[in-house]
Amino acid sequence: DSGVTQTPKHLITATGQRVTLRCSPRSGDLSVYWYQQSLDQGLQFLIQYYNGEERAKGNILERFSAQQFPDLHSELNLSSLELGDSALYFCASSVGRTNTEAFFGQGTRLTVV
């Protein structure tokens, strides 16, 4: 158990809909990272928050947004969903600003039908 909790584990939704994925980092970790893993792809970095503020942005679509709350949990919002958004979404956390040894949650499997 990495200490990073992601909910829900599975999500099935229709195209055009909006969903929210939730992540609770390890106790004491200030950074939260979101990654997307599509079929046969490596993990693609989406966005990082550090202590409530956006720190870095990767290949995140404009339809996607995230935030980190004062209690340090984070939510990833995916809107106007398309079939191609079906993927595993991982959250990771680390103590500091860099994810040199980030701890990953179990992921949320999103299926868009």
| Site of interaction with another protein (CB under 8 A) | 2, 4, 6, 33, 35, 40-45, 48, 55-58, 90, 92, 97-107
Cβ proximity to another protein, 16 vs 96, nearer residue = 96
Minimum Å gap between C-beta 59 and another protein is: 9
Shortest distance in whole angstroms from residue 16 CB to another protein? 28
- Cite the beta strand spans of the chain per DSSP E: 5-7, 10-13, 19-24, 31-37, 44-50, 53-57, 64-68, 74-78, 87-94, 103-104, 108-112
- Tokens encoding 43: 């993990």
Give the integer Cα–Cα distance in Å for 51 and 79: 25
Residue type, 64: F
Give the nearer residue to another protein in terms of CB position, either 74 or 99. Answer: 99
Nearest distance, CB of residue 70 and another protein, angstroms: 23
Residue 22 or 45: the one with the smaller Cβ distance to another protein is: 45
